[in-house]
Every structure is written in C-alpha cells, then in structure tokens.
Amino acid sequence: MADCSSKLPDSTAAISTVDEYGGATFSTVHPDVIQTHILTRLDGPTLASAACTSSQLHALSCQEKLWTDICHSTWPSTTAPRLRHLISTFPDGPRSFFSESFPPLSDLEPTTTTTASNTWRYHYRPSELISAVDIYYRGKLMFSKVVETETVSGWFRCSPFRIDLLEPKDVVTTPIRYPNGDNACGQLSEEFTLSWIVIDPRGRRAMNLSSHRPVSVQRHWLSGEVHVRFASVLTGERGSSSEYVQWGIVVTCGGSDSGDMQVREVSLLAEDMDGMHLNGGDSLVILQRALEGKKGKGRRREEEGRKRYEKYLEKKRDRKERKVKTEGVLDMLCAVVGVIAFALLWLFILCR
C-alpha cells in the first residue's frame, strides 16, 4: 500500500531487527523463504507494515499474487471473474484495491459549494456500481454475492437509492445454527461481520460502506426475525438535511424448521438526517466524493465506524430538537398573529 503510516507498525517490528547475541539479520534469509513461508502467512495490514520496514521486504511484499490471495481470502466475492479482471486494472492492482477497501473512510467535512477543484466530481457520474458483499458469522462465511447496478437511467436517478442482494421471495439457508433464546441478539451483535465494497469500475475506485460489526441488532416483535444493521456515515452539503447521510445495510435473519440460520434480506439504503431516503442522483454525488476521499486506519476500523455512527445519531437528535423548537416558535407566532387579526376584525366591526 502506498501509505505505510496508516498500517500496523508494531506487528512487524521484529522482522528486521538484529539478534542481540550477534546472530544473522533477517536480510540474510533467502528471499524465496521469506516470500513462500513468511509473507504468505500475513494478513493485509501486517503485510503492509512489513513493506515499510526495509527495501527488501518492500520489494517482496509488493508481489501481485500475495495481494490477490489476500483479497480473495478476505473477501471471497472478489474471486468472481469480472472482479478478478477489474481489480488487476487498479493502479497497483490488488494492493491498491485492498488499500481502498479494507479501512473505513476518514472524517470528511460537509461541503458548502462546488469549488473549482472539485467541480469535475459533480459532473462525473459512475455509469455503474458494483457491490461485493461478504457476510460472516463466527468466522464462517454465510453469504457472498456480487451485484451490478446501472446508474444512468432516469428511474435510478429519481427513485430512492436502494440495492437489494436478494429477490423478495429468495431465502439463503446457511449451515450455521440459528441462535435462539433471549441472548440471540447479543450473539449476533458480537459474532456477525459484514463487508460491503462499492466499486466504480470506470474510475477504478473502491470503498467499504460497512461498519464491519453491527451498530444495532433488533428482533421484530411480530415475525421474530432479527434485523442486523451495519452503517457508514458520509457527508454531503453543509446546512442541509443531507449534511450527514447514513448508508445503512440491513441483514434480516431467521431460523428454518431444522434450526439453521436463514438470510432473508440484505439491502443498502441511503438516509438523510430527517429520515428521508436519498434518490439515486443525489446519492451518486455523495458516493463519488467519498470514493475520492481519504481512508481511515485499518487497525481502528470498527472503532472509527462506531464513532462516526454515534456522531451521526447525535447530530440527528440535535437537528430534530432544533426543528421542533423552530416549529414551536412558528406555531406560537401563527397563534399570536391569528389572535391579533381576530381582535382587529372585531375592533373594525365595533368601530363602524
């Protein structure tokens, strides 16, 4: 990855140190041994850290096959033929793709106007979005799918933004036992993880819209289904209802007659601070800005995602309170104006 400062520097600190008793340094190990028996055992963040320790490890850690294998093991959806080809066309291949897709987005300030430096972003629109989704429970893959969404039709731009991975009557039965009992929501909250990577194939950009772990888990009082929500918060135009936009991913789970866990719905929606769903056209503007934005630090992706979500909820509550106060003041003014108008009418009648 290009930015070594955002990776895990402590995980490979001992790789290039010299033995205190005068033993051989790491650089004396044959490169084939390092590449075959050491680097292949590292995950993405650790491999990126190793690349920052020395020029030798940097050269060995940049091999495309290493990063291809890491992408495939981290996100099985990336093994789809089209994605394999698309990822290879990124500036640094799978290494670039991992760098953009693993960490969450960093804090972005809402924009006020379209400046000259970012005008092109508002004119450029991806003609297609690709979603690569992987869901895990207790480290076991539950569900994996790639969905292609066109973004040029008038229907998409004017309709509420929504991407569904399953058709209304589709149900995916998994080999995982459904957690029953009062602690089912707690188990899902702790053991459920999800990745939703949005890819702009034309711009060769990608980002992960998931908080990795759920921000809320709720059981429906009537159906008994459990709704697991993941979220990412992106910024829009300052002072508007879309100043902060929640990109909510809802996974609806239930149990089959045999006790296996079923995935019954997986959807992505964009919601502003007033609880209104954004249309496709407005959503593309925000997505494009986020695709070009900075990413956070992979080692703190869960913490960063949850903080952004909590900040969004706090700002949403503040906006609602201000709106209620404003409406209260307007109601009071209307009442006062009505009373004055009524009094003036009677005064006019009495003075005739």
Mean pLDDT of 203-207: 91
**Long-range pairs for 34-42 at CB < 8 Å and ≥24 separation?**
34/60, 35/60, 35/63, 35/66, 39/66, 40/66, 40/69, 42/12
Question: Percent of the chain beyond pLDDT 70?
Answer: 78
Question: CA-CA distance, 219 to 55, in Å (whole number)?
Answer: 52
List the beta strands (DSSP E) in the chain: 128-137, 140-150, 162-164, 172-177, 192-200, 205-208, 216-219, 226-235, 244-255, 260-271
Mean pLDDT rounded to a whole number for the chain: 79
Average pLDDT, integer, range 328-344: 82
Q: What is the pTM of this model?
A: 0.78
Write the CB contacts of 118 (distance below 8 Å, at least 6 apart in sequence).
Answer: 111, 289
Cα gap 304→290, rounded to integer Å: 16
Residue 5, pLDDT score? 40
pLDDT confidence band for 302 (50 / 70 / 90): low
What value does the mean pLDDT take over residues 63-73? Answer: 91
Local confidence band at 16 (pLDDT 50, 70, 90 cut-offs): very low
Residue 17 has pLDDT above 60, yes or no: no
How many CA atoms lie less than 13 Å away from 82 in the CB half-sphere? 11
Q: How confident is the model at residue 45 (pLDDT cuts 50, 70, 90)?
A: confident
**Over the stretch 260-276, which tens digit does the pLDDT of each residue have?**
888 999 999 999 888 88
Say whether pLDDT at 178 is over 90. Answer: no
Asked whether the predicted pLDDT for residue 13 surpasses 50, the reply is no
For the segment 244-259, the average pLDDT, to the nearest whole number, is: 87
Are 177 and 260 contacting, i.e. CB atoms less than 8 angstroms apart?
A: yes
